[in-house]
Amino acid sequence: MAEQHFVVIGNGPAGNEAALTLRHHAPEARVTIISREWGGCYRPHLLPQFVAGKLTEENLYVFSAASYKDNRIKLRSGQEVVTVHPDKREIILDHKEILPFDGLIIAVGGRPRIPENLMVFGDLMLTLKTVQDAKIWIRKLNETDTVLMIGGDLTSLSFTTQLMDMGKKIYFALNEEAFWPLRFDRHLYEQIAGRLSLKGVEVLKYSRIKGMNRLTNGMVEVNTDHEKVRAGVVGAFFGLTPDIAFLARSGLKIDRGILVDEYLHTGFEGIYATGDCAQIFHPDSRDYWVSIGHDNAVALGRTAALNLIGERVKAEAAMACIFDVQGVRVNSSWWMEF
């Protein structure tokens, strides 16, 4: 029988774990990871500490580039998948190469979500998702002592703590959209605003950003419906949204994420989706759920790989995964509330 070729798209925690599991359980198969970003797999949740100078870049990585060779995994980093043809069993890369597969795991994760009304200010705001983003933050923070955080997702709160440790002056603009995808809740809002204030963060209550202008190279002015704030860096933190626009015409079923059954199967033979980009059917609730979080992603990556090689492992609805948001306990099942 010809050697099987398993392809994993994405080298985040889910994709990397999927590839390792395939390697371990299917020693004869060829395993390829395609990753848009350069280099090996890193832990995105450590980026705030990296920006704060508490970790080196090396500390972020789970796997060095050499380890892929040792594990007989072909890592094609710096390459982007632009289309998947499930029927033809091939993917197309951005440089037009066609790559055939026998089995495919899609683990493309999420990208920072920017609310539509703020998109026009996109080039004035920074997000934090990749090592590259972190390096831009480091460069900008070297030049300024004031930061305006807009949003309020889980990342922004842990990042604020790191920025405070760096001695930065922080303004935090909270509004009703801030906790997306958490449903707005006055009690949670007051709690988080209160805790931020206690830490010395200046909390701005507003309902709308009316304008944003670059005054000089190192200063941005932001107008809300209540006040005007000037900061050296403006960060946008509105959660992550599955990064799946490139699959729009693939024939895969897509809603907010890639729709899969409880085995992470897309409905196309040998094609699975996993990690933050998957929207997973839950037979008990008869609804779909989306996971977020490092540990969930690793577990889901393993599950997809085991199912691709013929096992029948259900994705655990890891609803019990609790985040601690500045002392407030938040259950990750909030992703149910799209």
Ligand X SMILES: Cc1cc2nc3c(=O)[nH]c(=O)nc-3n(C[C@H](O)[C@H](O)[C@H](O)COP(=O)(O)OP(=O)(O)OC[C@H]3O[C@@H](n4cnc5c(N)ncnc54)[C@H](O)[C@@H]3O)c2cc1C
**Binding residue for ligand X (CB under 6 A) from 22, 105, 107, 258?**
107
> Closest CB to ligand X among 95 and 187?
95
Contact 219, 230 (CB under 8 A): yes
Contact between 294 and ligand X per CB under 6 A = yes
Stretch that binds ligand X, among 24-32, 62-70, 202-210, 294-302 (CB under 6 A): 294-302
Q: How many residues bind ligand X (CB under 6 A)?
A: 34
For the range 288-291, what are the long-range contacts, defined as Cβ-Cβ under 8 Å and sequence gap of 24 or more?
288/255, 288/257, 288/259, 289/317, 289/319, 289/333, 289/335, 289/336, 290/242, 290/256, 290/257, 290/335, 290/336, 290/338, 291/318, 291/321, 291/332, 291/335
What's the CA gap between 47 and 41, in Å, rounded? Answer: 13
Take residue 300 and report the two structure tokens written for it: 């889901």
What's the CA gap between 240 and 243, in Å, rounded? Answer: 9
Contact between 152 and ligand X per CB under 6 A = no
Nearest distance from C-beta of residue 208 to ligand X, angstroms: 26
Nearest distance from C-beta of residue 215 to ligand X, angstroms: 28
Contact 165, 141 (CB under 8 A): no
Nearest distance from C-beta of residue 262 to ligand X, angstroms: 17
**Binding residue for ligand X (CB under 6 A) from 37, 153, 177, 262?**
37
Contact between 181 and ligand X per CB under 6 A = no
- Torsion angle, alpha carbons of 49, 50, 55, 57, to 10: 160
Contact between 110 and ligand X per CB under 6 A = yes
Contact between 292 and ligand X per CB under 6 A = yes
Strand partners for 284: none
Contact between 108 and ligand X per CB under 6 A = yes
Nearest distance from C-beta of residue 19 to ligand X, angstroms: 11
Helix (H, G, I), strand (E, B) or coil at 211: strand
Contact between 252 and ligand X per CB under 6 A = no
Contact between 74 and ligand X per CB under 6 A = no
What's the CA gap between 14 and 10, in Å, rounded? Answer: 8
Site residues, ligand X (CB under 6 A): 9-15, 34-37, 44-45, 47-48, 80-81, 107-110, 128-129, 155, 158, 243, 246, 275-276, 292-295, 297
